[in-house]
Amino acid sequence: MSETIHTGKASPEQITYANLLFYGCWGGLALMAVTYLLYVFGVIAPHVPLEKIPLLWSQPVGTYLELGQVPTGWGWTVLLGKGDFLNFLGIVLLAGMTIVCYIPLIPAFLKRKEFVFAGLALAEILVLLVAASGIVGGGAH
CA distance 4 to 130: 32
Q: Label residue 139 by pLDDT band (50, 70, 90).
A: low
Domain assignment present for 57: yes
Q: What is the 3-state secondary structure (H, E, C) of 40-66?
A: HCCCCCCCCCHHHHHHHHCCCHHHHHH
Q: Label residue 141 by pLDDT band (50, 70, 90).
A: very low
Residue closest to 86 by CA, chosen among 26, 46, 119, 135: 46
The residue type of 31 is L
Domain assignment present for 5: no
Q: How many domains does the chain have?
A: 1
- The percent of residues in the chain predicted with pLDDT above 70, rounded, is 91
CA distance 24 to 21: 5
Domain assignment present for 82: yes
Domain assignment present for 34: yes
Tell me the residue range of the domain where 103 lies.
Answer: 12-133
Cβ neighbours of residue 46 closer than 8 Å, sequence gap 6 or more: 39, 82, 83, 84
* DSSP structure class, residue 73: G
Residue 89 has pLDDT above 90, yes or no: yes
Domain assignment present for 138: no
Residues 62-79 pLDDT 10s: 998 999 899 988 889 999
Domain assignment present for 32: yes
Radius of gyration of the chain (CA): 20
Residues 31-60 pLDDT 10s: 999 999 999 998 999 999 888 888 888 889
Domain assignment present for 3: no
CA distance 85 to 87: 5
Domain assignment present for 56: yes
Handedness of CA 34, 40, 46, 48 (dihedral sign): positive
